[in-house]
Structure 1
Amino acid sequence: MLMNLRRMALPVILLLLISLSLSACSSNPVEKDDKQITEQESKKDEQGIQSISTEDLKEKLNDDSWVIVDTRINDAYNGWKLEGVKRGGHIKGAVDFSAKWLDVEVDNKESILSETINVKGIEPAKNIVLYDANGKDALKVAEYLKGKGYENLYTYDVKEWAEDESLPMEFYENYKLIVPASIVKDIIDGKKPETFEDATQIKIIEASWGEEDTSYANGHVPTSFHINTDWIEPPPAWMLADDATLTEFALNNGFTKDDTVIVTGEAQMAAYRVATVLRYIGVKDVRVLNGGLGAWISAGYEVETESHKPTPVTDFGAKIPANPDLIDTQEELKVSLAKTDEFTLVDNRTWEEHIGESSGYSYHDKKGRIPGSVFGYAGKTDANSLDYYRNIDNTMRNADEIIAMWKEYGIDTNKHLSFMCGSGWRAAEVLYYAQVMGLENTSLYSDGWIGWSNNPENPVETGEPTN
């Protein structure tokens, strides 16, 4: 009887052992795919977006199946230490797609954003890490991408990365040349923010064409005073004024060589044009509000309509121009154009202007280009546009993307680059961006196409370039 019970129990025991074995196997962790993050290594927020750890992110830096995206404002990507980060700039290799861009209201907005995503390689098939410093920007961009069918999305707090000095971050060498609205606000509030610690006399100006009632009176950054671009390039030619006129301009508006000046304005090109001329005459520290008045308003700050006037001075402190190499004269340009192995004249006009289909200006009918100039992009529509150099919110475009554009036409950043357009406005903005990147072997051919073509002795080319 006992033997029979033992025989009956044996199959039962075997079944129990098999059952326990299967149960144990089913509880083992799933083997990790190279392109996946396990639940132990990440967590999901309330919107179902996973976060990634610093250790895991380090491993993905050189993985082509991963794209790291900075979703903060453009200034943080450039190098400013904003929102409490210990180090400014962006994670090495990261591209930028600011959450702020989703709030911009412009024609063809969705088309512009879609093109931006494609250019930056933010593809649905890849794993996308979206990082910020406020816990909001990354989720905002994540929701936008989810709406476009993206699934492999992760978030990250860049403050953790910035805390560890051993982790690689990049910033533009001269990022301070273009200033975020929050820094301007700090200055107005009496603070001495990053890169302004040694500034003794800070002046904020608004630059635009015409008298105050044209733009300034409609609203400007508080405390700023108006600069009419006609004062530095008088009509009817609108070419750069002579030294005597520029000296009078400086003294009348209270500028000295030791000033720190921040140029603001609704029209970005006017701001960069005035900023470049201020540097040319010798003001030592001239910055521009990145994104212009639109960036100020987007940051939630109030504009004012009260008029402010500068206090004139009797001594600039140096002979004007104190920085003459920043702007090339026509004669200097002719000499430089012969040095093709060390000099490039970059034509920042539309393609239609470059090949001679359009002059670009209602007051100038001559068409064509300067022989030896190289097409360097500008805007997509007319002489008042600079789409190829700006983000959708009119801030400076990613430097890698700008340099990639230049390479298409053989523009070598190891050479001296002189930027030109029709009369110096578009090219002045491009010059500033080049110097933000650290390209200091650069200058502006201020007279541009208009100045060149007004001289009947100067040669002209039309049609598509042959080289």
Structure 2
Amino acid sequence: MRPLIDVSTLERMLKRGGPAPVLLDVRWHLGGPPGVESYRKGHLPGAVFVDLDRDVAGTPGSGGRHPLPEPAAFEAAMRRAGVFADRPVVVYDGADSTAAARLWWTLRYFGHENVRVLDGGYHAWTTAGNAVAVGDSYEEVEPGDFQARPGNLPVLDAAGAAALAKAGVLLDARASERYRGEVEPIDPVAGHIPGAVNAPTLGNVGVDGRFLPSELLRERFAGLGATDAVDVGAYCGSGVTAAHEILALHLAGIPAALYVGSWSAWVADPTNPVATGEA
């Protein structure tokens, strides 16, 4: 199943009657106001807010700033949001799907088989002139029955990421200046995993936040050495934008593993080597 859905297709699904897809709003602003504030000002009718830091990640620590949540905690969060095993789920964020891709990936990792990302997010929905709702929708949510079963998508640990950087292609989804080690606004050490190739996430989308066509994504990744003929993985600062890279690779027909702990977990171990500059 194609992991993206456009606004017009979602509109038709919502209007046709019968069980509608579960809508999850996961807007998240790194260093900005909480996403729930944007949600309360306006969201897709019937959508429920999901907090990326609280619901889609575990407690920060040696496993990184956004480690995998515990299965029981994620299951409880998704049930509160009304997620059912047999109902489709559509996730969205503000526009570029950075946070939505992490929720898409996490739901898929824990076994939900019918999850799609609204391409262009809330911006695309409102630009099309569609109605929005305000306030909270939690009171109207029927608790779901989703069961979290981990292990349905490939993941990397630090050793696996290091090995893949040598034997396959490990993509670093952060901005180029962070990859080169020129700046590091968040983590205590600047640089990248030795052997990793820089592929900034924003290169996967156009100015409107929508993903590039699959053929352009294939060309982009092929130019970086990532094809379906080699083993591919991705990491970023904390495993959020790298999930966006995994989604873009999926659209390009390239299977890839996610290093969930990413750079924040890598530098938590002082024995891990650090490279700077260009590859």
Q: TM-score, normalised by structure 2?
A: 0.85
Q: Is the contact made by 2:238 and 2:261 (CA closer than 8 Å) also made in structure 1?
A: yes
User: How far is 1:409 from its partner?
Assistant: 3.3
Q: Does 1:316 align with 2:146?
A: yes
CA distance, structure 1, for counterparts of residue 151 and residue 76 of structure 2: 15
CA distance, structure 2, for counterparts of residue 407 and residue 307 of structure 1: 44
User: How far is 1:234 from its partner?
Assistant: 4.4
CA distance, structure 2, for counterparts of residue 396 and residue 457 of structure 1: 37
Q: Secondary structure at the match of 1:215?
A: helix
CA distance, structure 1, for counterparts of residue 225 and residue 163 of structure 2: 21
Aligned to 2:256: 442
Q: Does 1:203 align with 2:25?
A: no
User: How far is 1:229 from its partner?
Assistant: 0.5
Aligned to 2:129: 300
User: How far is 1:458 from its partner?
Assistant: 1.3
Q: Secondary structure at the match of 2:178?
A: helix
CA distance, structure 1, for counterparts of residue 126 and residue 86 of structure 2: 29
Q: Which has the larger radius of gyration?
A: 1
CA distance, structure 1, for counterparts of residue 39 and residue 56 of structure 2: 17
Q: Secondary structure at the match of 1:346?
A: strand
Q: Is the contact made by 1:220 and 1:265 (CA closer than 8 Å) also made in structure 2?
A: no
Q: Is the contact made by 1:201 and 1:258 (CA closer than 8 Å) also made in structure 2?
A: no
Aligned to 1:179: 5
C-alpha distance after superposition, 1:320-352 (max 9, x if no partner): 2151x33333344345445x1xx3111111221
CA distance, structure 2, for counterparts of residue 331 and residue 180 of structure 1: 38
CA distance, structure 2, for counterparts of residue 368 and residue 445 of structure 1: 16
Which structure 1 segments of 5+ residues have no match?
1-173, 193-199, 379-385
CA distance, structure 2, for counterparts of residue 256 and residue 333 of structure 1: 33
Aligned to 2:98: 269
1:281 to 98, 103, 110: 110
Q: Secondary structure at the match of 2:210?
A: coil
Q: Name which structure has the greater RCO, CA cutoff 8 Å, separation 6+.
A: 2
1:254 to 79, 82, 95: 82
- Describe the shift of the 1:301–1:442 C-alpha distance in structure 2 as closer, same or farther (beyond 3 A): same
Q: Is the contact made by 1:280 and 1:327 (CA closer than 8 Å) also made in structure 2?
A: no
Aligned to 1:290: 119
Aligned length: 267
Aligned to 2:179: 354
CA distance, structure 2, for counterparts of residue 183 and residue 462 of structure 1: 44
Which structure 2 residues correspond to residues 416-435 of structure 1 after superposition, within 5 A? 416-435=231-250
The amino acid of 2:265's aligned partner reads G
Q: Is the contact made by 1:220 and 1:293 (CA closer than 8 Å) also made in structure 2?
A: yes
Q: Is the contact made by 1:232 and 1:245 (CA closer than 8 Å) also made in structure 2?
A: no
Q: Secondary structure at the match of 2:124?
A: helix
User: How far is 1:426 from its partner?
Assistant: 1.8
Q: Secondary structure at the match of 2:26?
A: strand
The amino acid of 1:233's aligned partner reads A
User: How far is 1:398 from its partner?
Assistant: 2.7
Q: Does 1:328 align with 2:156?
A: yes
Q: TM-score, normalised by structure 1?
A: 0.53
Q: Secondary structure at the match of 2:115?
A: strand
2:266 to 452, 460, 466: 452
Which structure 2 segments of 5+ residues have no match?
none
Q: Secondary structure at the match of 2:278?
A: coil
CA distance, structure 1, for counterparts of residue 105 and residue 236 of structure 2: 14
The amino acid of 2:56's aligned partner reads I
Q: Is the contact made by 1:368 and 1:462 (CA closer than 8 Å) also made in structure 2?
A: yes
Aligned to 1:222: 45
C-alpha distance after superposition, 1:219-244 (max 9, x if no partner): 11111111010212246533322333
CA distance, structure 2, for counterparts of residue 427 and residue 331 of structure 1: 17
Q: Is the contact made by 1:221 and 1:264 (CA closer than 8 Å) also made in structure 2?
A: no
Q: Secondary structure at the match of 1:208?
A: coil
Identity of aligned residues (%): 27
